[in-house]
Amino acid sequence: MALIELKDINKTYNNGQPLHVLKGIDLQIDKGEFVSIMGASGSGKSTLLNILGILDNYDTGTYTLNGTLIKDLSEKQAADYRNRMIGFIFQSFNLISFKTAVENVELPLYYQGVSRKKRHDMAMEYLDKLGLTQWASHFPNEMSGGQKQRVAIARALITHPQIILADEPTGALDSKTSVEVMDLLTRLNKEEGMTIIVVTHESGVANQADKIIHIKDGVIGKIEENEKHDAWGGSLIK
């Protein structure tokens, strides 16, 4: 059974001039898949990601996540689903600047009501996994972009989510650290079977995924199987 099932999703923004952003999206993503969503800016890929991440709601259609229909949720329910089912990775890392790395990683567990000691131990475990143990008590502004993104990944992973949603995860990184972060995501996918969806407009980044979904003007253009990672000659660097 598909982990994510979108059926005829429509979304219109009504800021003055109505803007029909998503025009009937049908999409299925299975458990353990590594998918990238590509598209030019304004194509609706970020909106799609927001809907997938329950950050935004849609007008018509159905979105089923792990057998749960995600529609007309109360803010509280939405927050709870986000917390338990989805891990976010953002382009600008979105770490809280006045909290240390370990405190940032702990934060989702804080909102679950996990005890201080337990969530600290778990956060340290995840930082260790990502090789950031010695950076645990550092603040985000003391870390490099790649380290920050790895902290953000640890934060996304700590609640054992069903899916990882990454919005331009390498957008603020240089090419070397971009490779590192993408390798990390690939490893998570291969070794732990984590379902990962990456939104990007960089072909090199998209090429890391097993499946590339091209979105254009609010509809899905084509879905490319990319098991061999050779969509653009296999190089991450453009």
Partner 1 sequence: MRLFDTDTFREILDSITRNRSRSLLTGFGVFWGVFMLMLLTGGSQGLKGLLNKNFEGFAQNTCIIATSQTSKPYKGFSKGRYWEMEYADVDRLRSLVPELETISPTVALWGRSFTRDEYTHSGTIRGSRPDYANIETPKMMYGRYLNDADIAQERKVCVIGKKVYASLFPEGGDPCGKRIVVDGSYYSVIGVDWREGGGINVNGSPADLVTIPISQARKAYNLGNTIHLLCFTAKPGFTMSDLTPRVRQIVSRAHYVDPTDEQAMFLLNTQLMFGIIDNLFKGINFLVWLIGLGTLLAGVIGVSNIMMVSVRERTTEIGIRRAIGATPNQILGQIMSESIVLTLAAGLMGIVFSVLILSGVELGMTEDGMLKAPFQVPFWTAIAAAAMLTVLGVVAGLMPASRAMAIKPVDAMRDE
What is the contact surface with partner 1 in residues (CB under 8 A)?
46, 50, 53, 55-56, 75-76, 79-80, 82-84, 88, 90-92, 94-99, 107-108, 110-113, 116, 155, 159, 167
Distance (Å) of CA 81 to CA 33, 68, 163: 20, 10, 11
Nearer to partner 1, 199 or 209 (CB): 199
Torsion of CA 129, 131, 133, 134, to 10 degrees: 180
Give min distance, CB of 222 to partner 1, in A. Answer: 27
Q: How far is the CB of 76 from partner 1 (least distance, A)?
A: 5
Shortest Å distance, C-beta 229 to partner 1 = 28
Residue with smaller CB distance to partner 1, 8 or 98? 98
CB of 138 to partner 1, least distance (A): 16
Looking up tokens 């590509």 gives 38
Give 69-101 as a 3 state SS string: ECCCCCHHHHHHHHHHHEEEECCCCCCCCCCCH
CB 12, min distance to partner 1, A: 15
Residue 34 or 81 with smaller CB distance to partner 1: 81
Cα–Cα dist 49/74, whole Å: 19
Q: Which is nearer to partner 1, 90 or 232 (CB)?
A: 90
Cα 139 from Cα 153, distance rounded (Å): 16
Of 148 and 211, nearer to partner 1 (C-beta) is 148
CB count, 10 Å around CB of 132?
Answer: 22
